[in-house]
Structure 1
Amino acid sequence: MAKQSPVSESSAHLDLVDALPVVAESTTSRVLVTNDVMRIVQFTFDAGEMLTEHTSPRAVAVQLVSGRMRFTVDGTEHAMGDGDIIYLAPGASHALVAETACRMTLVMVDVLT
């Protein structure tokens, strides 16, 4: 897991395809950035892998870097392909099923109140 870093500290995360390969019959993840306002996580999914329905108290942006998946938000299913992005409002229920091997980046942002 990435160590907590100050918001004022820049970082680079390179060669992720090699560092986080798709593993057969698995879902894998790596926390890239975590600080007081943001968390960035990269996931890989083999075909058929899924995340069951859940919610997050944070605002979330999901970008499918490569592959195809079905991503459900508040009961509405979206067919995602390379480069597609979905925004999740805080508390939105969501789930996914990878149709092919996939690489996805998730950005969670704390909501200012």
Structure 2
Amino acid sequence: MNNIFEKGKVLNLTTSVDYSEGGIVSKQIIKSNPGNITLFSFAKGQGLTEHTAPFDAMVQVLDGVAEIKIGGEPFILKQGETIIMPANISHALHAIENFKMLLTMIRG
């Protein structure tokens, strides 16, 4: 992941990442010791398998629809919605349609 975002410039996150047919694209916006902010796009049907993370992570949906499971409980999220995935609880993601999100993870 390369940081290609200029500081002090207006960003349109929704148009800052393209879809890749049948794939997943990620672009790191900020990477630092306290945490990371990463922009993702998922083609319909793509996702992230169930896993855990040692820190809370917030997903902000920028485009499309996805199912996010947290501790086995499914949530359907669409553009404009946000969910916080708690630390050390399993979670997974599946793009119901083409889907873009901003992932913010803060360590601590």
Please give the TM-score of this superposition, normalised by the length of structure 2. 0.87
Is the 2:67–2:75 contact (alpha carbons within 8 Å) kept by the matching residues of 1? yes
Residue aligned with 1:100, SS: strand
Q: 1:39 aligns with which of 36, 39, 42?
A: 36
Summarize the alignment of residues 62-77 of structure 1 with structure 2, pairs less than 5 Å apart: 62-77=59-74
The structure-2 alpha-carbon separation of the partners of 1:50 and 1:13, relative to structure 1 and needing over 3 Å to count, comes to: farther
Is the 1:65–1:83 contact (alpha carbons within 8 Å) kept by the matching residues of 2? yes
Q: 2:47 aligns with which of 45, 50, 64?
A: 50
- Cα distance in 2 between the residues matched to 1:64 and 1:104: 4
Q: 2:92 aligns with which of 95, 100, 107?
A: 95
Of 13-22 and 54-63, deviating more is 13-22
- Cα distance in 1 between the residues matched to 2:86 and 2:70: 10
For the pair shown, the structure with the greater C-alpha radius of gyration is 1
CA-based RMSD: 1.7
Aligned residues: 105
Report how far residue 90 of structure 1 moved: 1.2
Is the 1:48–1:99 contact (alpha carbons within 8 Å) kept by the matching residues of 2? yes
Of 100-109 and 86-95, deviating more is 86-95
Structure with a larger share of its residues in strand: 2
Unaligned runs of 5+ in 2: none
Q: What one-letter code is carried by the residue in structure 2 that aligns with 1:68?
A: V
Unaligned runs of 5+ in 1: 4-9
Report how far residue 83 of structure 1 moved: 1.1
Q: Report the identity percentage.
A: 27
Is the 2:14–2:63 contact (alpha carbons within 8 Å) kept by the matching residues of 1? no
